[in-house]
Amino acid sequence: MRIRIYQINSELDKNLVKYSGYNDLQKLQGNADIDAGIYKNVYYGDVEANDLEDIYQLFNSKRIPTHQGHSLSVSDIIQVLESDDERLNGKCFFCDAVGFKTVKFDTTKCQEMDGLRCIYLTPGNKPLDLKLKVDEYETLKDAVQGFVEITYPFDDTVAVVGNEEAKLEGMKGNFRIGSSIYAGPVLIVGDNGGEDFTELTPEQAERYMKRFAEPEEISAEEAQTDMGITFIGFNY
């Protein structure tokens, strides 16, 4: 399921509606309308979930890579972009004290995620064009779920940031470049030769979104064959 999550920016919350249920909005702000202008996009990505309750449990049970907010709470908004359940697709849901309420929510008024434009690729999923703090090492480590490995397979001012131990850890294959297989989650970021990574240009973002538009099916076993390691047995 591909989703976005929006949470209230406390600095903009003049009516103190953060963490308040839907039925409390009228009392706190004088109307029951949800003000999208005080919300910020804190997550954009793919999750293993069948319904909204699964999403709630997921974001309250473990750290979700690239998530920039707090655990899922009352007053948060879930936007379902792609789901096997057609009843959820294209709709926004208010996380209420009990359950979820379908609401009108103008996402164009929300603040964007923090960071610089990059492309995020996870095994078996379509690419994500999003913003992350790619100039910070901890963000890179969080996104690739482990130790960072940087390669330069393209004739372009970009770097490919992956997990150094992805194949050793048995992560699924992600994509092929030439004869090489990349495994696990990967970022494509701008690199102009400076000390920190930079933002992708609009042209670069479009280029790599097209390049990786169709996910490749590569098993963890197949990815491990590309480790370049030969195991030698010894007789004692």
pLDDT interval class at 70 (50, 70, 90): very high
Length of the chain, please? Answer: 236
Over the stretch 177-229, which tens digit does the pLDDT of each residue have?
Answer: 888 899 999 999 999 888 889 999 999 999 999 999 999 898 888 888 876 54
Question: What is the pLDDT at residue 224?
Answer: 82
Strand order in the sheet with 148-151: 128-132, 116-121, 186-190, 158-163, 148-151
Average pLDDT, the chain: 92
Q: For residue range 122-176, list pLDDT tens digits in order.
A: 999 999 999 999 999 999 999 999 999 999 999 999 999 999 999 989 999 999 9
Q: What type of residue is 102?
A: T
Q: What is the pLDDT of residue 178?
A: 83
Residue type, 173: G
